[in-house]
Structure 1
């Protein structure tokens, strides 16, 4: 959602916005290439296919029956913890268990925030609202200063060839050697450095 909102801001270019940073660039060809793809493109296509066929059930459930899911998650702290913990396992840069990427207390803090505020259902319903309003990863060319950081265990890693077509005004590009989908949570020092490197050249603009 952060990537989606930032991307929309860059498309709208409101006064005062001078650049954005993404670590999940919305650069997905439609249709996906079936022939002539290079290695990076093939890896991205394979990751997106795995996400759609093996890892995307949660998203379809959120987008189609968020309340059905929301009631049991709001009734069972164990169920809520399992639902979120599985994503920490699947999407962090870990060695088999999410505890190798995130401290257990930090994960529990995150899960507890959902529990105490009773926001499991509303966080799922966001997917439904996006689906109703035509959310798509293909929002068009973003002719605006954009910095991009690619973390190795992201859900999928957009190859540079796709990124250049969507973000022609690229001010920062870096492929890091560790970190996953929750990059700012997993690797706060690395993520902070990426932001500094990205915006250093535009701070005085």
Structure 2
């Protein structure tokens, strides 16, 4: 079982200022490997998602949602608390393979290309950036994702706090990332709510 606190936004039109910041800092979609997750359609269920990902079955439940929060003058959204369970499927699970390889049973394939980094404290209590592949005991992941659902391309920017402590850091980095773009509360939601649009 894994707990996290997240805030996420989705956009149909790519926010160029966000993409430019990531590219200027060496985070490029072409350098990352795409993956496809398969979601069980749960219509009108905005607080629960069930997906198949890389031989795992993941259940993610939203356990709390904040009021509309102002992170900076240009950023508004909803903090959401989640609990996630992950179970390994058997290698010879024929049903799993029929869903992920033959796309049977109406599960929704969602292709994701993700770039970003994690923030953590180093040995001198300084906030530093590390790769997504690193697993500090606690921190915050900042990610920018290109998402393909039913031949539509969307973009998502998100922060995810993980671990047994909540990392506090200067949120001015968010204004650097978004530039002239504004993050609105109306675009702030988790994957379960977003996928119910389809």
TM-score w.r.t. structure 2 length?
0.24
TM-score w.r.t. structure 1 length?
0.23
More helix per residue: 1
Question: Greater CA radius of gyration, 1 or 2?
Answer: 1
